[in-house]
Amino acid sequence: MYIRMKFIIVVVLCLFPFLQSSAQLRQKLLLDQEWEFRSDKDGNNLTWEKVTVPHTWNATDGLTPDYYRGTGEYRYHLNILPEMLKQRAFLRFEAVSQVADVFVNGIPVGNHKGSFNAFCFEITSSLKKGDNLIEVKVSNRLDNDIAPLSGDFTVFGGIYRPVSLLVLPKTCVTPLDYASSGVYIHQNKVDSKQAELSVVTKVNSSKAEKDLSVKTSVFNAKGQLVGNCITRKASGKDETVEFVNKLNIKQPVLWNGKKSPHLYRVFIEVMKGNTVVDTLSQYTGLRYYSVDAQKGFFLNGNPYKIKGVNRHQDRAGKGWAITNKEHNEDMELIKEIGANGIRLAHYPHSDFFYSLCDREGMLVWAEIPLIGKASPTPAFTENIKLQLTELIRQNFNHPSIFCWSLFNELCEGDVKKLIQELNEVAHKEDPGRLTVAAANVENRPENVITDIMAYNTYPGWYWAQPSTMKSSVAHWNRLVGNKGICVSEYGAGANIWHHQQDVQSAPKTDGIFHPEEWQAIVHEQNYRGISSSDFV
């Protein structure tokens, strides 16, 4: 069966006459149509159904407590043209929940554990001319070695984010560095006068190369060149080589939140001699920020009160298998209420949404799914470190992200050592960003490890009166040594069909009647306490 594929072709325009280039250096083929799927729920299901990707098998039962957590199988017939076999081929999955085993023509090409990050496998040697069968065996069973182990949300099973075939040159910016772009834009020092950048590009070649170089060019939003640099090296066969290009951008236009989310384009050219063999663009914004223990968050030297929401990635009837349409709808709703920040709870979200936050000037709290509890096994520790590393490397260049969150509401067991190790991983991977965590239990030892600390606190809903928010945040701040805190969750539940004009006290949180009027009271009084506390 021959499948139509969507092509995204990078066309390189030579700016200098001595450079030779190909019109099709790298291709990205979106594999979204004519997948086949069967569920193993009944144990003997031999019937394949046609589906599109993104897809989840919990679209219907995902809102019920006994939703199916088990295994399913996907397959796809991929037509490979002869000229494609002259290049390298990679399969990139943006997310599969939560364990994926991938086969090409019956040959196992890789395994990935974790529901939220991308992964990529090279499949060059497994392909043949004509029809090729891709098979993906997926499981969303509870696995004590894979986070999350708890949480008040459904773990939808399936290939719920896009899948792509990457056809790349023999020598290319590698897509195999934890499925990242292979390009890391380090903002060593940024202010209004200049930005000092170190751009790391990881290049892999299928054969030894003596004369490799990487040219990095930076363009502003008007397309004007504002800086470039070139570095030369040699590489061995199948060796990944790091090229570091240092640039100074004079008087940069700063990425300044919603007021001015200015983005620069960083353009990478990989060359053998004078021939361009691969190109790649990444977008970033130049900014600096800090946290003052008494005055709160500062963006580009100015006070910047972050007012935001927590966002999950699901929809009724679709589960996690949402499209750019739903991502855009969420962003418009968040903008409508006047927010300038988003906590992407409680796990890594799609690259499209991080990029949307970059363009809209939303500050982002990015998070791994360590929720409630952790397993004491080495396998769990290894996997949650992997999930953190993937999160950071895949999203390194997004200017909207200001912190990496290490856990949410840990309340069981001794996890101090694990959080210390995760904190070290985050700082090693990205020394330029803060670490944070969200707690709801006082005086646990892991609550003082991260750079900044946050608390989920619900006065007026789970306890006390809504007017006690001011004293609540002051109490939490004292517990972390008065270094300033975030309020990572607050509020009250409500039903748009429930109303009571004279409501005086909180309804039962586990009851059946939740009037909107009480929710409004809680928000108004909670927010008054938060906004009057400068250290928040």
d(C-alpha 114, C-alpha 47), whole Å: 27
- Where do the CATH 2.60.120.260 domains begin and end in the chain? 27-167
CB 451 within 8 A of CB 480: no
- Where do the CATH 2.60.40.10 domains begin and end in the chain? 183-285
Please provide the size of the chain in residues: 536
d(C-alpha 164, C-alpha 154), whole Å: 26
Please report the DSSP string for 373-430 in residue order.
----SHHHHHHHHHHHHHHHHHTTT-TTEEEEEEEE---SS--HHHHHHHHHHHHHH-
CB 226 within 8 A of CB 264: yes
Q: What is the pLDDT of residues 350-385, one digit of tens each?
A: 999 999 999 999 999 999 999 999 999 999 999 999
Q: Is 409 a catalytic residue?
A: yes
Fold of 294-532: TIM Barrel (3.20.20)
- Where do the CATH 3.20.20.80 domains begin and end in the chain? 294-532
**Comparing C-alpha atoms, which of 404, 430, 400, 433 is closest to residue 200?**
430
- Cα four-point dihedral sign 270, 275, 281, 286: positive
d(C-alpha 35, C-alpha 55), whole Å: 10
d(C-alpha 520, C-alpha 493), whole Å: 10
pLDDT at 238: 78
What six digits make up the tokens of 396? 């390194």
Q: What is the pLDDT of residues 262-277, one digit of tens each?
A: 999 999 999 999 999 9
Q: 27-30 and 35-39: which strand pairing?
A: unpaired
Q: What is the mean pLDDT of the chain?
A: 93
pTM for this structure? 0.94
pLDDT at 25: 87
d(C-alpha 95, C-alpha 13), whole Å: 33
pLDDT at 45: 74
Q: What is the CATH code for 183-285?
A: 2.60.40.10
Fold of 27-167: Jelly Rolls (2.60.120)
Radius of gyration (C-alpha) of the chain in whole angstroms: 24
Catalytic residue among 135, 409, 446, 489: 409
Residue with tokens 């099973």: 157
- In this prediction, residues 4-30 reach a mean pLDDT of 48
Residue type for position 57: W
